[in-house]
């Protein structure tokens, strides 16, 4: 009679005799988890069929190591010989491989060949985009990895245990307190910590506000005639109309708000209008606040890149004119990286309870560790240093863009010296052809028409050049490709 421990799958080391008087089996703790459903007339056949199916469907990838026969037998509640025999037969069939010291693994079989697709009969495809000057993104290569890691370590070391619970729907107190101090200092925002609600970005914040406004029986939110279509969609999905306010060289014509039927709020980018690049004139700032006071309305202020002004000190946030009529929205998406999914709202006192209720009873949106890290990053001064560093980088790029187009009277860079993008006005009727020419140069770039509200009058032909997007290594190549594509 052969002892059960003496039967091993090919490639497995011979185990020592089991001591059945020992403590409960610990091999399942040491092994690898593998979910299998055994079906069929017998245990061995069912196990083999389950393993074949797992390999065939890709659930067990080529080269994946299987649990030892002892571990899998304990998990499945079957005899070890049953697993060892199944492994041995699958090795013989070519599904598995086994080598001494390497264990039992899924065989690395060649993928079946597929016929090459027929060559297209159309003209050759345009070059895949090598460079991108699409607006809306920072230079991701500039993310301060080392400083962020330092902040994360400090935050993790100092964090109380309670910080890793479900959390307050408004966000962690540590971040809200630091944000209130920073926004007051850097953006002129009246931002008591209890008025700050952390969210996972601007769209998340706008979604919550859309829900609250609809619950308040607001029928429409006025928007700028040029802006992101996604933002308008968020509001329309909430059941709100989005009538357009016209723009000119002084920004959005907020004096026309009184004539917008049913508007209970207006969405503005006052510091640096997206995408036209103009700043809202002081008289029009005042007109927006006067409208909000007279109608019990709200101003939703998107301060998406207010920290990046190059020709003078950044203009303070509109919210400072009337904190009870303006909702201030900011994010780390442009200053750090959109992948952090961290944003914030500074709310009028009467709106805090409704927004936090819309967000939920617990904070589902933002990682506690990321909130603590950002709080430490700001409090330590690293955020200010990073913003100043990136401000210099983006300013140089904008200057280089303007210099590269200097002397070409058919082209004009418009908008204030700020942010991560600039508008390049083109000769009439050339916007589409220039975008096509840029694509042939391997450059992705956007036209101004892409951002026009459906009800707005057409504006000039222009490109919206996101000079903040390329990494340092690609900036020169992207600028050269743009110059070749321009008329």
420: which DSSP letter?
S
Cα–Cα distance, 333 to 142 (Å, whole number):
13
Cα–Cα distance, 265 to 292 (Å, whole number):
8
What pLDDT score was predicted for residue 37?
Answer: 82
> How, if at all, do strands 298-302 and 326-331 pair?
parallel
What pLDDT score was predicted for residue 30?
Answer: 47
The full length of the chain comes to 487
> How, if at all, do strands 343-346 and 196-199 pair?
antiparallel
Strand, coil or helix: 196: strand
Please state which architecture CATH assigns to domain 131-139+385-485.
Answer: Alpha-Beta Complex (3.90)
Please state which architecture CATH assigns to domain 4-106.
Answer: Orthogonal Bundle (1.10)
What pLDDT score was predicted for residue 116?
Answer: 55
What pLDDT score was predicted for residue 312?
Answer: 86
Q: Is the CB of residue 355 less than 8 Å from the CB of residue 345?
A: yes
Q: What is the rounded (10 degree) CA torsion for 19, 24, 26, 27? A: 60
Which helix (H) or strand (E) segment holds residue 484: the answer is helix 472-485
Core vs surface per residue 192-226: b (16+ CB within 10 A) or e = ebebbbbbbbbbbbbbbbbbbbbeeebebbbbbbb
Angle (CA) 182-336-341 rounded to 5° is: 95
Cα–Cα distance, 448 to 466 (Å, whole number):
12
Please spell the DSSP secondary structure of 235-301, one letter per residue.
HHHTT-B-PEEPEETTEE-GGGGGGSTTEEEEEE--SS-TTT-PPPPHHHHHHHHHHHHHHT-EEEE
Cα–Cα distance, 431 to 449 (Å, whole number):
8
Angle (CA) 109-74-70 rounded to 5° is: 55
pLDDT tens, per residue, the chain with 487 residues = 333 333 344 444 444 344 433 333 433 344 678 888 887 678 888 899 999 988 998 889 998 999 998 989 888 888 999 999 999 999 988 899 988 878 899 998 744 444 555 555 555 455 678 999 999 999 999 999 999 999 999 999 999 999 999 888 999 999 999 999 999 999 999 999 999 999 999 999 999 999 999 999 999 999 999 999 999 999 999 999 999 999 999 999 999 999 999 999 999 999 999 999 999 999 999 999 999 999 999 999 999 999 999 998 888 999 999 999 999 999 999 999 999 999 999 999 999 999 999 998 777 778 999 999 999 999 999 999 999 999 999 999 999 999 999 989 999 999 999 999 999 999 999 999 999 999 999 999 999 999 999 999 999 999 999 999 999 999 999 999 999 999 9
Domain(s) of CATH 1.10.10.10: residues in the chain: 4-106
Domain(s) of CATH 3.40.640.10: residues in the chain: 143-380
CA-based nearest residue to 400, from 472, 456, 350? 472
CB atoms within 10 A of CB 156: 14
Q: Is the CB of residue 169 less than 8 Å from the CB of residue 420?
A: no
CB atoms within 10 A of CB 22: 8
Whole-prediction pTM: 0.81
What pLDDT score was predicted for residue 127?
Answer: 62
Please state which architecture CATH assigns to domain 143-380.
Answer: 3-Layer(aba) Sandwich (3.40)
């Amino acid at each position: 009679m052969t002892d059960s421990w003496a039967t091993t799958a090919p490639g497995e080391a011979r185990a020592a005799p089991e001591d059945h008087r020992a403590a409960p089996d610990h091999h399942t703790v040491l092994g690898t988890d593998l979910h299998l459903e055994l079906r069929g007339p017998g245990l061995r056949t069912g196990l083999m069929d389950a393993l074949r199916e797992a390999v065939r469907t890709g659930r067990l990838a080529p080269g994946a190591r299987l649990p030892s026969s002892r571990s899998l037998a304990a998990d499945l509640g079957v005899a070890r010989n049953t697993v060892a025999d199944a492994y041995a037969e699958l090795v013989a069939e070519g599904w598995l491989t086994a080598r001494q010291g390497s264990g039992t693994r899924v065989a690395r079989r060649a993928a079946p060949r597929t016929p090459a697709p027929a060559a297209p009969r159309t003209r050759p495809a345009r070059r895949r985009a090598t460079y991108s000057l699409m607006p809306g993104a920072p230079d991701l290569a500039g993310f301060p990895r080392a400083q962020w890691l330092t902040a994360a370590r400090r935050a993790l070391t100092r964090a109380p245990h309670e910080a890793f619970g479900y959390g307050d729907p408004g966000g962690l107190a540590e971040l809200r307190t630091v944000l209130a101090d920073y926004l007051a200092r850097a953006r002129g925002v009246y931002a008591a910590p209890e008025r700050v609600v952390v969210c996972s970005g601007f769209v998340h914040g706008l979604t919550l506000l859309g829900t609250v406004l609809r619950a308040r029986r607001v029928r429409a939110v006025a928007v700028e005639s040029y802006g992101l279509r996604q933002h308008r969609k968020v509001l329309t999905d909430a059941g709100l109309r989005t009538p357009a306010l016209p723009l000119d060289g002084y920004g959005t014509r907020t004096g026309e708000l009184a004539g917008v039927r049913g508007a209970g709020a207006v969405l503005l980018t006052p510091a640096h209008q997206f995408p036209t690049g103009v700043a809202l004139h002081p008289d029009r700032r005042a007109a927006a606040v006067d409208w909000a006071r007279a109608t019990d309305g709200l101003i939703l202020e998107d301060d998406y890149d207010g920290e990046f002004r190059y020709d003078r000190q950044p203009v303070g946030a509109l919210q400072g004119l009337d904190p009870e009529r303006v909702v201030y929205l900011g994010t780390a998406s442009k200053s750090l990286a959109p992948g952090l999914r961290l944003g914030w709202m500074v709310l009028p006192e009467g709106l805090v309870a409704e927004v936090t209720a819309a967000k939920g009873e617990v904070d589902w949106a933002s990682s506690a560790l990321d909130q603590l890290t950002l709080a430490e990053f700001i409090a330590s001064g690293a955020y200010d240093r990073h913003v100043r560093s990136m401000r210099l980088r983006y300013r140089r790029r904008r200057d280089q863009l303007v210099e590269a187009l200097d002397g070409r009277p058919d082209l004009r860079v418009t908008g204030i010296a700020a942010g991560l993008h600039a508008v390049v006005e083109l000769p009439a009727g050339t916007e589409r052809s220039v975008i096509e020419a840029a694509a042939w140069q391997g450059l992705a770039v956007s036209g101004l028409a892409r951002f026009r509200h459906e009800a707005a009058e057409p504006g000039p032909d222009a490109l919206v050049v996101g000079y903040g997007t390329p990494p340092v290594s690609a900036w020169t190549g992207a600028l050269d490709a743009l110059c070749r594509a321009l008329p």
